[in-house]
Amino acid sequence: MSFWERFEGMDPRYMYVFLALALLIPVFRPVGMPIAIDHAFTQPMFDWIERELRPDSLLILDTAYSPGAAAELDPQLAAIFRHLMRRGHKVVLISQWELGARLGTTVVRRVADAVGAEYGVDWVSVGWREGGLPWMRSLQDDFWAGMGGVDIDGVPFERLPLMQRLRAFRPGQVDGIICFVTGSPGAPTYITWFPEIRLHLGATAVMVPGLTPQLVAGQTRSLLTGLRGAAEYEVLIGEPGRAVKLMDAQSLGHLIIMALIILSNIGYAIRTRQGAT
């Protein structure tokens, strides 16, 4: 029996075993597959934080997503927050999505503990409030009043030194916005009502086609694209982590599928030719 006959008659369950191994092994032992940096989408985010922001800048990070997008956006948030802390900037975490408030706080707290960032001094999470767009617009005039004067856990702003710098969501107090989006509300809130503050985005891969025109038009300045964007950012800051491991797994999985498709077509072509003769 030839190789192609054996391949054609192979139990499909073996293919699933190969694919499972390709997905699992890199998670525990990364293989270091190359990741090219997108200079139009990812690089501008890194350059802005690394070279353009003035020292001790205050940024708003909006976790406008739900658990369904956490696999793509949590690694983006972790890598960017780590970079901001390394550069000595300050972060106020907010969310236009109720579930995103706790998701983002959990991710940032884990990174903050790892890098030694102090809550209330280096970062604060103010969470989510009811009210939609009117609530967000109220922050332009009085951030403290719009948030009820307390953080996500009910700690008064008076006890958080960083909040003394943020009395209104306006230029001069806020140096930039990074919004992690998976739908609406999300980026349009800032494009429409906060256009004078520089906006950068992290998005799930499926959102990228719809957000690209805003990047081209200059309404946003960069756009991290799903898990791939997170992996690129980890490479840029020199700290490969969860996203790089998962991209290794994804790439190896794609290679296995491509190899099976190619082998199947070669076998079919050989069998067809033999049948014709």
Q: Is residue 253 part of a domain?
A: no
Q: Is residue 71 part of a domain?
A: yes
Both tokens of 230, joined, read 């997170």
Q: Is residue 267 part of a domain?
A: no
pTM value is: 0.85
Residue 244 has pLDDT above 70, yes or no: yes
Q: Is residue 16 part of a domain?
A: no
Q: How many domains does the chain have?
A: 1
19-31 confidence digits (pLDDT tens): 777 777 776 776 6
Domain that holds residue 78: 43-247
Q: Is residue 35 part of a domain?
A: no
Strand ranges for 108-210 from DSSP E? 123-127, 176-181, 199-203
Give the span between the Cα atoms of 135 and 128, in whole angstroms: 10
Give me the CATH number covering residue 71: 3.40.50
Give the span between the Cα atoms of 210 and 137, in whole angstroms: 24
74-115 confidence digits (pLDDT tens): 999 999 999 999 999 999 999 999 999 999 999 999 999 999
Q: Is residue 214 part of a domain?
A: yes
Q: Is residue 272 part of a domain?
A: no
- Whether the Cβ atoms of residue 47 and residue 198 lie closer than 8 Å to each other: no
Residue 275 has pLDDT above 70, yes or no: no
Please, what's the b/e burial string for 170-200 (b: 16 or more CB within 10 A of its CB; e: otherwise)?
eeeebbbbbbbbbbebbbebbbeebeebbbb
Task: Name the DSSP class of 118.
Answer: P
Q: Is residue 261 part of a domain?
A: no
